[in-house]
Structure 1
Amino acid sequence: MTPRLARDVRRAGGGQAWFERQLQPQRIKDGPADRTAHWWPSLHRSPAELWQRQTSGVEGGYEVMDDYARWVLVRRILAKRQLLEVMTEFFENHLHVAAVGDPQFVHRVDYGNTIRKHALGRFDQLLLKTTTHPAMLIYLDAAESTKEHPNENLGRELLELHTLGAGNYDEKDVRDSARILTGYSVDYWESWRPVYNHDDHYRGKVRVRGFVDKNGKANGKGTTAAYLRYLARHKDTAQHLAYKLCVKFIHDDPPKALVRHLAQVYLQNDTAIVPVLRELVASASFKHAYAAKVRDPGEDVVATYRALGVRLKKPGPDGEVDGSALQALVWQADSVGIAPFAWGQPNGQPIDNESWSSPARLLASMRFHQGVAGGWADDATGYRQPEQWLPGRHPRFDEVVDHLAQQLLHQQASKRLLKACSVACDVKPYEAIDKDHPLVEWGFPRLLSTILDSPDHLSR
């Protein structure tokens, strides 16, 4: 939350009106965030060109994926379509394809764009697009699956992670799930285009948790589409998605009644996401969830840059970021806990509080906050000089802390925060502060970082 965003909410007519507008992102102009898509040329290269550049030593896949992570972080920092970014992040984690390792990176940018396109649409459509996407097929080995040797990775994760949830299927379901998906492949090492190999598609009756199909055609796309629609509309999928939404936005142990209600709304609205979000936000549990969830590393990075008002300069002509604040974004997130999309397992990075609440993570966030608060990046703009943060010419220290709390945390300073800042900076609460005070001359980064180290900033 920034003062500018608060003004936008007030102009919209309040939080509910602002939220309703966010549900229609196509109506929100977001030029500065949209233009960042053109900062890195390789994010627009074809899969074949990306692979050729890697094999010839021009540009590694990991470099392209680092740039993709940078683009996503910058977009989240700048975007006015905040809800779209939040839901894209949620589904890019729920339908996780790691942006590390070969060779799925050649399709990974398009995969993310596909999720963003459907993040506020219908889940059945999103599920079809992601399950059959080349990035997912490569990542979970389905692109090499054949009727003689069906690879069960995607068939299993589709059931356990993406739809029904753990414990809601058996091994027979996994085998037929894998058989249904045979035929989808990728033209490896050449064009990298998605292909459908009729000769590799398993033909014969399949049965998965109530879904039954003769599956007699060489082209099994119709069976796959019907199967994914069935899974998307299954009551267990509704329950699984509703639970994860509640864990992400409300509490690690959400109210069972709310989960059941959201699952019912999901089914009643043909898997549409927007009605579910409306009901989630309207719930009493959501209203009581303020500051109940710990920010993960990416959220910490985004929130910190937004709070401090730091603006990142466009990279060089060929997307070079060496030594820049843009380059730092990825390793800063990694230093706090994990870089975007770097989680190695297909279950996506954790969304519970405990995973991001260790002493090591807290110390890492403190180091990160100290560095950014110190304005270390010469090529970034928007850093305010200490005197620019002051509320007037001769404020008391407690007035400075309260002003900063409103600027950085969007709330008044608590007694606990004032005490922490007073101890950290060795300044008494009623001490007068002017431009020649040691706090302004050299101690201001410590004050800013103390506020950023508070539970109020580390939670959302």
Structure 2
Amino acid sequence: MSSLPQTMTRRTVMGGVAATGVAAALATGAPAAAAAAEPSPAALLPADPLLHLLRRATFGPSPASIAEIRRLGATAWLDRQLSPSAITDQVAEEVVARLPLARLSAAEIRSRVSAGTLKQYSWDPMWQLSWAAVARAIWSERQLLEVMADFWSNHLNVTCPHGDVWDSRIDYDTMIRQNALGTFAGLLKASARHPAMLTYLDNRFSTKAAPNENYGRELLELHTVGMTYTEADVQHAARLLTGLTVDNSTGKYRYDQAIHATGAVRVLAFQHSNTTAAGGEAAVLELLDYLAMHQATARRIVTKLCVRFVADEPPASLITTLIKVYLDNRTAIVPVLRALFTSAEFAAAVGAKTRTPFEDLAATVRTLGYGPAATGAKFLESLYWMTRDAGQAPLNWGPPNGYPDVAAAWASPSGLLVRWNFHLSIAAGWWPDTLVRPTNLPAGMVGALPATYGALITATAVRLLGIAPTAPQTAALAEFYGKTPTSPLKANDPVAGWMYPYLMGMLLNSPSFALR
């Protein structure tokens, strides 16, 4: 195809053929299939450091968050996000309140089972927790907390929904949130003594007679030091972890000294005599503190944070700096994040990250500025299924290692098509059809109708992407409507009515929006 058709029927547009051509044009900066040098990723994004911080420290800039960070400045905005308890979060809390099962403790779930109002092993609470994750990512004012809750939920993954954690997975999410901006040592110890983790990785069934190595291995390989251990380390860790279990009658964590394996253990450089079963839990906590402060753990945690917030291949200089911050602050997360976001390496990383599918969906609703439906939660289910179709339903990764966070893991034509489809569907209000959006989309996005097609395209791009399109990109988009950038724009033109969502969708399909 050498150029886009000059005239198009609604049926053709609905088919998406032209939209695909324009998206390709946006990627190259030239109409249709004309050859052109590929622009650098940084050139596809605004150079504004405030928008760069928003793209990384949130699930995507929204009109409200842009206004807030411009009013506060980067330092005050970051300080506010690092103290989330001081932030009023009315919209997200109201939406999550529509999902009453997503806030239940294990005891409350079991009480409902006893009362006959909830079936034993029901996944309904876990489904509601999954939908709540979508709501919080999109509408929470505590955006950095939500990003870090997602980060730790991947690092200390317990798949949701998952049959064995039917009564404890909700509380596990609560624990993650309570510790997301605390210390990693505190989070690790809370995770190690949580019924969901002990169940998911089989430690609740581990006894001195038959130690189970699953949790001991993942504790070392995934949660802390990485591939620096020996099989002997795993075996000793598994023996020491015996006794950390779950009370079958209550579903709560308990330490059972009767099943704890005593005897000296050595895990890496950690040694403990472990002479009495009564002291087994205290010995485990000593091991966890040791692992949290290990140099290899420090490197693993800060590297993953840098991959999340800076680049798929983060600068070694930044990793070295942050390792020292992590260790000097005894695994406290806030000092590490503050040092990361204020570093020269972070500032220089514009365009170095690509949004994952879940982030793409959340960013879509956020940049559009659409609000939650006035009532009900069906719209959350719809958004959740969109993320699942794209391969990244929140909390739903099956293996214990969590979702990948590099561009190569998500690069596929089918995945891109799913994203393009939900961009248009959400923007146009087709599905979900209950999100609160402007009655007049062009007016809601850019105000008074501009005089030309080019002006409308530019204004919409700046509104949604933060950056104006190049002249060839503007021409390609105008050509989609059979016009040129200088063509006069009339109020009754389709682009100012039913075809305006296609302009929004094509801009959201662009590489500029795909970058985090």
Shorter-chain-normalised TM-score: which range?
A: over 0.9
Shift of residue 99, structure 1, vs aligned partner: 0.5
1:76 paired residue among 137, 159, 163: 137
Q: Does 1:305 align with 2:344?
A: no
1:418 paired residue among 474, 485, 490: 474
Shift of residue 416, structure 1, vs aligned partner: 5.2
Whether the 8 Å CA contact 1:386–1:444 is kept in 2: the answer is yes
Cα distance between partner residues in 2 of 1:255 and 1:387: 42
AA matched with 1:348: G
Cα distance between partner residues in 2 of 1:400 and 1:21: 35
Secondary structure of 1:106 counterpart: coil
Shift of residue 49, structure 1, vs aligned partner: 5.4
Q: Residues 434 and 15 from structure 1, CA distance in 2 versus in 1: closer, same or farther, beyond 3 angstroms?
A: farther
Instruction: Report 1:68-147 matches (<5 A).
Output: 68-147=129-208
Instruction: Give the aligned partner of residue 315 of structure 2.
Output: 255
Instruction: Give the aligned partner of residue 374 of structure 1.
Output: 428
2:95 paired residue among 30, 36, 39: 36
Instruction: Report 1:177-256 matches (<5 A).
Output: 177-188=237-248, 190-219=249-278, 220-256=280-316
Cα distance between partner residues in 1 of 2:127 and 2:229: 36
2:455 paired residue among 379, 382, 399: 399
Whether the 8 Å CA contact 2:373–2:436 is kept in 1: the answer is yes
Q: Residues 67 and 416 from structure 1, CA distance in 2 versus in 1: closer, same or farther, beyond 3 angstroms?
A: farther
Q: Residues 290 and 312 from structure 1, CA distance in 2 versus in 1: closer, same or farther, beyond 3 angstroms?
A: same
Shift of residue 241, structure 1, vs aligned partner: 0.7
Whether the 8 Å CA contact 1:375–1:383 is kept in 2: the answer is no
AA matched with 1:36: V
Instruction: Report 1:225-374 matches (<5 A).
Output: 225-313=285-373, 315-316=375-376, 321=377, 324-374=378-428
Secondary structure of 1:191 counterpart: coil
Q: Residues 267 and 46 from structure 1, CA distance in 2 versus in 1: closer, same or farther, beyond 3 angstroms?
A: closer
Cα distance between partner residues in 2 of 1:417 and 1:57: 57
Q: Residues 244 and 393 from structure 1, CA distance in 2 versus in 1: closer, same or farther, beyond 3 angstroms?
A: closer
AA matched with 1:411: I
Q: Does 1:427 align with 2:486?
A: no
Cα distance between partner residues in 2 of 1:425 and 1:357: 30
Instruction: Give the aligned partner of residue 77 of structure 2.
Output: 18
Deviations 1:391-418 (A, max 9, x none): 4234312211221122212223333542
Deviations 1:18-40 (A, max 9, x none): 11222122222222223333221
Cα distance between partner residues in 1 of 2:328 and 2:108: 44
Structure 1 vs Structure 2: percent identity of aligned residues?
38
Shift of residue 454, structure 1, vs aligned partner: 0.9
1:449 paired residue among 486, 502, 505: 505
Q: How many residues align?
A: 451
AA matched with 1:386: L
Q: Residues 287 and 419 from structure 1, CA distance in 2 versus in 1: closer, same or farther, beyond 3 angstroms?
A: farther
Q: Does 1:385 align with 2:440?
A: yes
AA matched with 1:271: T
Whether the 8 Å CA contact 2:181–2:334 is kept in 1: the answer is yes
Structure 2: unaligned runs, 5 residues or longer: 1-60
Shift of residue 274, structure 1, vs aligned partner: 1.2
Q: Which has the higher contact order (CA 8 A, sep 6+)?
A: 2
Secondary structure of 2:245 counterpart: strand
Secondary structure of 1:381 counterpart: coil
Deviates more, 1:330-339 or 1:190-199: 190-199
Secondary structure of 2:271 counterpart: strand
Whether the 8 Å CA contact 1:33–1:75 is kept in 2: the answer is yes
Whether the 8 Å CA contact 1:187–1:193 is kept in 2: the answer is yes
Secondary structure of 1:103 counterpart: helix
Q: Which runs of 4+ in 1 moved over 4 A?
A: 51-60
Cα distance between partner residues in 2 of 1:99 and 1:57: 22
Structure 1 vs Structure 2 CA RMSD? 2.0
Whether the 8 Å CA contact 2:193–2:253 is kept in 1: the answer is no
